[in-house]
Structure 1
Amino acid sequence: MSSSSTLHAPTVPDAPEDYPWTGRAVGSALLLSTGIADLDPPGGADAPAEQQARPLVDVAALDAGLAADGAAPLAERTLVVAVGSNQTPATIARKYARSGRDLHPATPFVRCTMHHLAVGHCAHISARGYVPAAPYRAEGERMELVATWFDPGQLAVVDETEPNYDRLRLEAESFPVTLATGERPKHVDVYASRWGVLAHEQPIPLRHRQQEIFDELVALTGSDLLRGDAAEICGRLEANPEALRTLVREHSLVADDGLPRPT
């Protein structure tokens, strides 16, 4: 771990209308019991993970950091690629805290390049009324995302926070991944929507403010449900959890995500 790493305390939950809260470009970090250590080089990465001349993150340093914090090593963890707010250590730290369980918080977050996967919107709202992110198969697409290593207890907690998703395993033969460590894992897990993804002829790519996706859906449906300020709309949807799913299905704005599921 670089000596230039900086520590930041997890913050309070962000406003639902600002989802997905990822801020600047994705990055590598290590959530520890003492805070969040930034693992990216100063100024951030200048190219996708798979195009770096040398690894941006040292695997041995990651394991050393976990060991120093008294946490499980990488070999005992499951690698999960995040597509929404789970890319941020602060979000995961809040999920651990809200679970009330005796969990060690140490969790590595490593940027990665993933092929044939893109990010859109779940065709269902979250409990707080925003439209969350969801992955879908997109042949030829390449994205920079974040891969997270969870120990068994952490993974169980995160699974429980994703009631609208199934955790699926994507094999490298169909979805190649290169981590910022230089590794190319044989497979990764991902949370995929149980309700399909929002689509108009093809999946709608993730909008980085809820106001954008609400305005887009108003243009496609003419519905007053999604008119107005994003914060008010999130509150409206939170009070009526099935309204959005009903609306988009009535207007045929839902597509299958194309991801492999167990038979």
Structure 2
Amino acid sequence: MPSTTPDAPEPAPAPAPGAAPAEAFAPEEYPWVGPAVRSALLLSDGVVDLDPVGGVPAPTDELSETLVDVSAIEQALAAEGVAPLAERTLVVAVGSNQTPRTIARKYRRAGGGVPVATPFVRCTVHHLAVGHVANVAAPGYVPAAPYRSEGAQMELVATWFDDAQLAVIDETEPNYARVRLSAQHHPLTLATGAEPAHFDVYASQRGVLADGRPIPLRHRQQELFDELVALTGAELFIGDAAEVCARLAARPAALAELAHEHELVTEDGLHRAREAAA
């Protein structure tokens, strides 16, 4: 198995006395996923990269061979003494939950007793796209949310959580409902070669931002804020993204109010098999 990568989930160093704490997850930089999705294993001693050297040449479902050896994942989970894949829930992430760094931070904040080992596997999902929740997160950024888009094909990350981990992640998603989608409506191909019959996603409970149709995820909050200025004319969104995030954090209801006033909210259109069990 590949060696541990340098981005192991270690806490940031403590700030000097009197200094402001460093913000490793600056709100204006959401969703913090970097240039591309990847397959990885979050383990107790760091992150193991599962992608081949040199990267991935094509979408997961167009490759002639599997990218990730599921037996290697099972061996790693067994070595950590945690639940195997069969006892975990498959969740496809659309925002920052695609990264081991974000999930490791959520486990740390939950305190002791939460097992760390978590597989992250790239995947191709059909008829699913990613937009923005019509609401702000507590730090002031506008988070991602899935929506149905006929004919769309996206490369995302599927994550397997055990029951304790899933309870932690559910708790961190107050603006979402974890719902189950069927492969009948949203075909899914994992980098392991598997094509599961269903999977969970975190769907917005506030609708998604739309200008006639859902606004696709902007990978810089600045791009979204500039777009919202054009759509609403509101001074709230004018300026540097960090400043706008600070304003939104101080006025958490303002985005939803403006979005409804300007009719910039729509349903996500997802074919929910059911709401996933907590």
TM-score (norm 2): 0.92
1:93 alignment partner, SS class: helix
Are residue 70 (structure 1) and residue 69 (structure 2) matched? no
Letter in 1 for 2:229: V
Quick one: which of 149, 162, 175 aligns to 2:173? 162
Of residues 115, 121, 131, the one that matches 1:104 is 115
Task: Name the amino acid aligned to 1:48.
Answer: P
Deviation (angstroms), 1:35: 0.4
Match of 2:225 among 211, 214, 228: 214
AA in 1 matched with 2:270: L
DSSP-derived class of the 1:124 partner = coil
Q: Give how far 1:25 is off.
A: 0.8
Say yes or no: does 1:6 pair with 2:5: yes
Where do 5+ consecutive residues of structure 2 fail to align? 13-23
Distance in structure 2 (CA, Å) of the matches to 1:63 and 1:107: 11
Stretches of structure 1 lacking an aligned partner (at least 5 in a row)? none
Identity %: 66
Contact 1:123–1:198 under 8 Å retained in 2? yes
Letter of the aligned partner of 2:124 in structure 1? Answer: T
* Partners of 1:152 and 1:6 in 2: CA distance: 27
Q: Deviations over 1:14-36 (max 9, x none)?
A: 10000000002101000000000
Q: What aligned pairs does 1:189-228 form with structure 2 within 5 A after superposition?
A: 189-228=200-239
SS in 2 for 1:63: helix
Mapped contact 1:7–1:37 kept (Cα < 8 A): no
Distance 1:81 1:226 in 2: 30
Residues 1:126 and 1:161: Cα distance change in structure 2 (over 3 Å): same
CA distance in 2, matches of 1:162, 1:101: 20
Partners of 1:110 and 1:180 within 8 A in 2: yes
Aligned to 1:158, what secondary structure does the other structure show?
helix
Question: For 2:62 and 2:77, how far apart are their aligned partners in 1?
Answer: 27
In the alignment, what sits opposite 1:80?
Answer: 91
Give me the whole-angstrom Cα distance separating, in 2, the residues matched to 1:166 and 1:260: 14
Write the deviation string for residues 212-234 of structure 1: whole angstroms up to 9, x where unpaired: 00000000000001111100110
1:255 matched residue in structure 2: 266
> What corresponds to 1:230 in structure 2?
241
CA distance in 2, matches of 1:209, 1:253: 19
What is the match of residue 141 of structure 2?
130
Q: Which amino acid aligns with 2:233?
A: G
Q: CA deviation at 1:8?
A: 2.4
Q: Does 1:41 align with 2:52?
A: yes
* 1:240 equivalent in alignment to 2:251: yes
Q: Judge conservation of contact 1:8–1:37 (CA < 8 Å) in 2.
A: no
Distance 1:259 1:69 in 2: 36
- Number of residues of Structure 1 aligned to a counterpart in Structure 2: 262
Which residue, out of 136, 154, 169, partners 1:143? Answer: 154
Mapped partners of 1:237, 1:58: distance in 2: 43
- Work out which of the residue numbers 52, 72, 75 in structure 1 matches 2:63: 52
1:233 partner SS: helix
CA shift at 1:171, angstroms? 0.5
Worse-matched range after superposition: 113-122 or 99-108:
99-108
